[in-house]
Amino acid sequence: MPDEARWRVGGWLGPWRAATVEQRRTGLLAAGSAVVGLAVAATCVVAAGPWDSGQRTAERQRAASGAHPGDDGRPGPDPARAPDAAPVLAPLGAPLASANPDTGERSVPVPTGPGLADALEPLLRDDALGPLRAGAVVDVATGRQLYGAKAGTGAIPASTVKIATGVAALSALGPGHRLTTRVTAAPGAPGRIVLVGGGDPTLTARATRGPDGSHPASLRQLADETARALRARGEHTVRLGYDTSLYAGTSRHPILPNENLAPVTALMVDEGRRDDSDRGPADRVKDPAAEAARTFAKLLRDRGVKVTGDPRPTSDRDKGGAKDAKGGAGGPGRTLASVRSQPLSSLVERMLTYSDNDIAEALTRHTARATGHPASFAGGRAAVTARLKRLGLPVAGAHLADGSGLDRADKVSAGLLAQLLARAAGPDQPALRPVLTGLPVAGFTGTLRDRYGKEAVGRGVVRAKTGTLYGVNTLAGTVVDADGRLLTFAFLTNGSTDPAAAQRVLDRLASAVANCGCR
């Protein structure tokens, strides 16, 4: 197979990115820009962003080098050759859709419900799935559900609930929003400074980049700027306090303690991990805020600032100020230094690609704050539900107990998940595109890297968010079918006893949607 026809990992719409120049020029992929369905798809790619930062750049660079990504984000052992694109380019052999005799525009046929049922229902009957098995397929161009099997039934979604979290956060805050961690000078208390948590779980004390090649907010940089500001004030000895009042309520998720999530607090460094990992399960510190403050104190000492005593939690009364209008820390202390997170678009992508639970729980609280709700589990639940309802999504019967999907009290329907993704692809919602670009690529990236073998039909074509808890397996994402129609899908099963077998069936279901015109 020619090099130019090999699969490129960074492409969301594999068939178009993998095509040769001549194939694109002659329209062999039935991808005319005037076609309604594919115009929407093209809009998603162009507006998807941020294509020049974070995870998307890392994917694009790996694609250019032909490297297979390793677990650490670096190229794998065989960077000389990209995987063959046979599954991606399979639609090339399909006949072209008919053209309008007046305009020359090509139409892309819509799959039919019976056609999809023929392809999907035999798989949904597989014994590897649990007693509750549900599915939905939605056409992006029209927003119409083409197929449903218990599509309106609430099921435990596991981590696919992060799709709802991302949509709500982007809708409420916008893709360019950043989370700010500050150091303030306590009013009326010379020599006293406060580290104010901004709810940024990606804040790092390490000198390296993030797992997606990004530059998260750096505690080292904050220490540099704070030390300079103190020297400019003639202060060389300080007492350090830390403020976590941005969030309300308990920091304890129902599953804690658990290696998949740190206590949910507005101040943490490297997600409270005790090791040097940057994603996946890891032992967590019991008090991430106190640990972050101790780390910051050490960094200040390394920069010539004497920090007396141990850092202590600081209340608004201690700062001499009051909470701001949204219930966060807002006293009159002067800001000495600050660092900002990557834009929300990058945080949503990272959350979805790596199924980052800490980011998910943080985003629900920021969504709550942005919409006038308490930044707590209950406030986040109310805020996310309200945002989805405002977008006209079918939230009846949904129960969003948390933002990460770790709580088994979550209930979401397959129909809602498929509609969430369709809305994110809509031409009127460009702010929601990171929900699509953050989806792992089957067989290549994130939580789908080790799924879909080299011969799997869906390899490189399916982009989807995974979900796994004990007895729960889910998959929701996007595909372009064999006729070139952009579709979203969601498949959920509860009560399964063999997770590996259940995952294989879900992967086959997504591949079936991608591989058939289903008419």
Beta sheet of 463-469, edge-to-edge order? 145-149, 132-139, 486-494, 472-480, 463-469
- Tell me the two tokens of residue 199: 């709810």
CA nearest neighbour of 169 among 350, 411, 414, 412 = 350
Candidates 159, 245, 251, 404; catalytic one: 159
Alpha helices in 139-218 (DSSP H): 162-173
Cis check: omega of the bond before 281, within 30 degrees of 0? no
Candidates 53, 162, 346, 465; catalytic one: 162
Give the phi and the psi of residue 190 in degrees, each rounded to 5. -55, 140
**Three-class DSSP category at 208:** coil
Rg of the chain taking only CA atoms, in angstroms: 24
Q: Does residue 159 have an active-site annotation?
A: yes
- Tell me the two tokens of residue 61: 């660079």
- Tell me the two tokens of residue 108: 């892309």
57 half-sphere exposure, CB direction, 13 A CA radius: 11
| End-to-end Cα, the chain, rounded Å | 30
Q: Does residue 355 have an active-site annotation?
A: yes
Rounded distance between C-alpha atoms, residue 442 and residue 237, angstroms:
54
- Tell me the two tokens of residue 466: 């995974």
Candidates 355, 376, 404, 496; catalytic one: 355
Catalytic residues: 159, 162, 355
